[in-house]
Structure 1
Amino acid sequence: MIAFLWAQDKNGAIGYQGTLPWYLPNDLKFFKQMTINNAVVMGRKTFEGMNKRPLPDRINIILTTDKNYEAEGVKVMHSREEVLKFAAEYEGDTLITGGANVFTFFMDDVDVLHRTMIEGEFKGDTFIPEIDWTKWKLDKSEAGILDNRNKYPHVFETYVRKEK
């Protein structure tokens, strides 16, 4: 299965200067829960925004057009087709985690959307690409718990693609 996994503010911002525009431990925990023992696909800029550190206990796939790109502890792939072939043969979930261009490449291939909707506005320079929500059905919605570390109201949502 191929799924998108992202957090956004109410304006669709998903990043600022290569990192997340907010600090929300509940979302980081959700991200880990969804990706552990699965494969994550991200673009080179997203990976480099994480200081080129592969996420532990996951297959880290970096999608880049740079044929000479190398990084320790990751699989480097150069095309959408290469990622789709991997996902078709992989027994676990393949989660597309950003950035915006990578989401765009796989918009027609994804089966499930996992979105953390943050009720706030943040400074952003990267935004989730437009999604045709008529093709999706809300399957699950759960409000995140607010506390002294999780200061922004947020909701974890899962959407499934409607039948074609």
Structure 2
Amino acid sequence: MRTLIMIAAAAENNALGKDNDLLWHLPDDFKRFKKLTSGHKIIMGRKTYESFPKPLPNRTHIIITRDKEYCTEYNECIVVHSLDEAIDLVKNEIAFIIGGGEIYKQGEKKSDKIELTRVHGVFEDADTFFPEIDEDYWMLTTQEFHPVDEKHDLSFTYLTYVKKDDALKNL
């Protein structure tokens, strides 16, 4: 069975980034992202893909772009032209939607789970945002707070959401 998970780090105002870059540096969140996504397919928009210096190791990258001529030199990358086309490539496995803002908007109702790192801060100058989580549709199942420390200038909380229908079936 396929499991489609949106994974992101978003500020309290849902800010994700600016100029195709993150607004913070959270090493523990990077480690968590790597642990969760390694060995799986990751779905992203072209701009998110191009924000990496090279493909992330041990993951198949599915890049969504409207550009029919777009290609990449890396074998671990597959180029598609819609989110539905990307989802068709992840039957019977776990896959992660990793951004950007427009791909998250399209993926919210198609996803089974959200792994959100809520960064405790507001970033007014952001140009990319995570969609507002619809509490009628999603249920918060776990949360884990991470305080400011010597490696992290901001506190944050790991939040896991599942579709309410799925959560209620398992009660």
| TM-score, normalisation: structure 2 | 0.89
- Pick the aligned partner of 2:87 from 76, 84, 94: 84
1:145 Cα deviation after fit: 4.7
Number of residue equivalences: 161
Distance 2:83 2:44 in 1: 12
Amino acid at match of 1:149: K
SS of the residue corresponding to residue 87 of structure 1 reads coil
The Cα RMSD (Å) is 1.4
SS of the residue corresponding to residue 42 of structure 2 reads strand
Show the 5 A alignment for 1:62-141: 62-73=63-74, 74-89=77-92, 91=93, 93-122=94-123, 123-141=125-143
SS of the residue corresponding to residue 26 of structure 1 reads helix
Q: Contact 2:147–2:154 at 8 Å: present in 1 too? A: no
1:127 Cα deviation after fit: 0.7
Structure 1 gaps, min length 5:
none
1:96 Cα deviation after fit: 0.3
Show the 5 A alignment for 1:8-87: 8-51=10-53, 53-73=54-74, 74-87=77-90
SS of the residue corresponding to residue 124 of structure 1 reads coil
Identity %: 35
The residue number in structure 2 matching 1:155 is: 157
The residue number in structure 1 matching 2:8 is: 6
Distance 1:157 1:131 in 2: 11
Q: Contact 1:15–1:21 at 8 Å: present in 2 too? A: yes
SS of the residue corresponding to residue 9 of structure 2 reads strand
Amino acid at match of 2:150: N
Distance 2:14 2:46 in 1: 21
Structure 2 gaps, min length 5:
167-171
Distance 1:145 1:56 in 2: 29
SS of the residue corresponding to residue 150 of structure 1 reads coil
